[in-house]
């Protein structure tokens, strides 16, 4: 099980945002669109928070796209092990998917990586003109929820 997990979300540009996950030499990078999955950022923050706050096993799947490619981001937790698995589909029909990223690690380490990245995005949101470039508001309430989950974990 790896513990060297990093998350990157770059400044949005014209409704697109670069997203990346890395650990121990394995990586996944893509560009995602703000639509049609308009709640993807909020859902991702809520999902990571849920991994820390939920007793017992936990599973959530988020959908996101690059157009025409589609992605499923599966987050699971069983005991003290959390898994992130990303499946890529060539079109929105979601047929013939291929797992393009898989990570297993400590739920707290995953949550801290997301918190660090989203906190940085929050701090730079005015400089990056986040709302204008992402075509929606920054998920402040969800970021606060993740902060609380991390602070209260353990």
pLDDT at 1: 55
Residue 67's pLDDT band (boundaries 50, 70, 90)?
Answer: confident
The arithmetic mean of pLDDT across residues 68-97, rounded, is 93
> pLDDT class for 40, splitting at 50, 70, 90?
very high
> Could you tell me the residue range of the domain that residue 89 belongs to?
5-152
Q: Which of 83, 79, 68 minimizes the C-alpha distance to 32?
A: 68
Q: Which residue has the higher pLDDT, 147 or 55?
A: 147
How many other CB atoms are there within 10 angstroms of residue 73's CB atom? 21
Average pLDDT over residues 106-134: 96
Per the structure, the count of domains in the chain is 1
Query: Containing H/E element for 77?
Result: strand 70-78
Interval 59-80 mean pLDDT: 94
CATH number for 12 = 3.30.2450
Residue 127: pLDDT band by 50, 70, 90 thresholds?
Answer: very high
What is the pLDDT, as a whole number, of residue 39?
A: 94
Pairing of strands 58-65, 81-89: unpaired
Question: What's residue 2's pLDDT?
Answer: 52
């Amino acid at each position: 099980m790896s513990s060297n997990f990093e998350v990157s979300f770059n400044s949005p540009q014209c409704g697109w945002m670069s997203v990346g996950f890395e650990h121990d030499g394995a990586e996944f990078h893509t560009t995602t669109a703000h639509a049609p999955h308009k709640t993807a950022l909020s859902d991702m923050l809520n999902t990571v928070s849920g991994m820390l706050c939920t007793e017992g096993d936990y599973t959530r799947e988020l959908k996101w796209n690059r157009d025409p490619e589609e992605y499923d981001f599966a987050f699971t937790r069983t005991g003290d092990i959390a898994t992130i698995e990303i499946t890529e589909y060539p079109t929105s029909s979601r047929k013939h998917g291929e797992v393009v990223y898989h990570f297993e690690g400590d739920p707290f380490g995953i949550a801290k990586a997301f918190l660090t990245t989203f906190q940085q995005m929050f701090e730079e949101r005015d400089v990056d003109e986040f709302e204008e470039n992402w075509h929606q508001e920054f998920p402040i309430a969800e970021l606060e929820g993740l902060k609380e989950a991390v602070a209260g974990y353990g």
